[in-house]
Amino acid sequence: MGREALAEAMIPVIGRLYRENNVVTSIHGRSLINKSTMNILKAHRFARRMSNHELLLEETAPLLNALSELELGAAAIDIARLTEKYRAEGNGASLDEYLRSELAEIVGKRGADDRTSTDVVLYGFGRIGRLLARILIEKAGGGHGLRLRAIVVRKGADNDLVKRASLLRRDSVHGSFEGTIRVDEEANTITANGVQVQVIYSDNPATVDYTEYGIKDALVVDNTGRWRDADGLSQHLQSKGVARVLLTAPGKGDLKNIVHGINHRDISDDDKIVTAASCTTNAITPVLKAINDKFGIIHGHVETVHSFTNDQNLIDNFHKGDRRGRSAALNMVITETGAAKAVAKALPELQGKLTGNAIRVPTPDVSMAILNLNLEKGTTRDEVNDFLREMSLHSDLRKQIDYIDSPDVVSTDFVGSRRAGIVDGLATISNDKNLVLYVWYDNEFGYSCQVVRVMEEMAGVNPPSFPARDVIAPIAVLETAGA
């Protein structure tokens, strides 16, 4: 059977595992749910640069079929990493025998999900809010875990509901919504891939009665950025049906700024309000932690080349901030960033060691952080790149750090990346104790993925993940390949 035929045959198996067993399959963190034949082929090609061996459909297709026969319970399964582990540790066992042993925790549980369900309300439905909705709908599965129940917005027009649904359906940067969307104007709901979302109109976060809609103990995700401190955000807690609040921006005061992968375990049950920091802080903190742990950072400067945002003007007009009144579509704009200082909130050992600045550029999405670091221990370009590549594959930061060494990648190649940041290995500069790293990041989608990870941590609804541990392979020279 040819590669395209194998990939096509995998689609219904992936779908059945998802619908009947609550099993989310991926290839090195790239979800296979609702993906086309071509996207599955691309995911396999992507795997070529992520490990020492090519990922063959002749191996993954039988593995998927074997998984479908095991009556699995809910889980997240990376079939690329599982295939590599079987190849390295199978020791002559049949595929069925190996999988029954490796997945013993969930074999025979047929869709059973021990997780509780947590109601989610998106307060605000802009760029981040709509991407969060897409991710939550994608993860809906059997209804366990995070359940998107409502969005809260200020009514903007008589046909507001239709316009909100249209913006969810079509996105100029991230493409069309994968699935179906229906609008019920009488009930004021949007139903996307079977997930019914109540649209609530309000301009006061303290006066919404969510219990009227059957919502209780909800996690409210504030995407507006209007309130950044405990006093402002605590207004949400005054509304009936709200248990906790997450801000999708850097917080002020004593609020915990959480970068998943770094300090997410600091979230306690007593934390009623948590912030997910900024897109830039999420992109650079994991890389900085890795470098600091390995080589030590004396001091450094972070320069962010950031896509423009809604805060800027399309054409020259008044703006209370310096320079931001000038046309975002026509200019590079020097502005400030608090990301360098914010790193220390998640990584206290870097307190006072970083400075930062930002340049807004005329692109709609994907940004870059340039890390100019002075190290305690000298190193070489190859050593740093090999280390960061291994971190992207086999460390606790593999959901945050990605690595690429293609000579032809540009910003648009990283639209839709689910990692917090992607190290561009070919751009790395090392001169003994002076190191310069270039880190790409999708400041919209990659950040939204980090926000969802924080949400799952707050709600305690992370599904079991397999394989539980990796095969630690020796570092090899990568073949240069595109994303």
Q: Is 449 a catalytic residue?
A: no
CA distances from residue 447 to 224, 262, 439, 451 in whole angstroms, order as listed: 15, 14, 14, 6
Three-state SS letters, 199-246: EEECCCCCCCEHHHHCCCCEEEEECCCCCCCHHHHHHHHHCECEEEEE
Residues in the chain: 483
Report the alpha-carbon distance of residue 239 to residue 202 in Å, rounded.
12
Find, among 121, 173, 171, the residue nearest to 181 by Cα.
171
Element (H, E) at 362: none
Paired tokens of 271 = 């934390």
At a CB cut-off of 8 Å and minimum separation 6, what does 469 contact? none
Give CA–CA dist 409/94, Å, rounded: 40
Q: Is 413 helix (H, G, I), strand (E, B) or coil?
A: helix
As a dihedral over the C-alpha atoms of residue 42, residue 43, residue 44, residue 46, rounded to 10 degrees, the angle is 90
Please state, in angstroms and rounded to a whole number, the distance separating the CA atoms of residues 304 and 285: 13
Give the tokens for residue 30: 């790239």
Alpha helices in 323-423 (DSSP H): 339-346, 381-394
- Catalytic residue selected from 7, 215, 245, 279: 279
Q: Which active-site residues does the annotation give?
A: 279
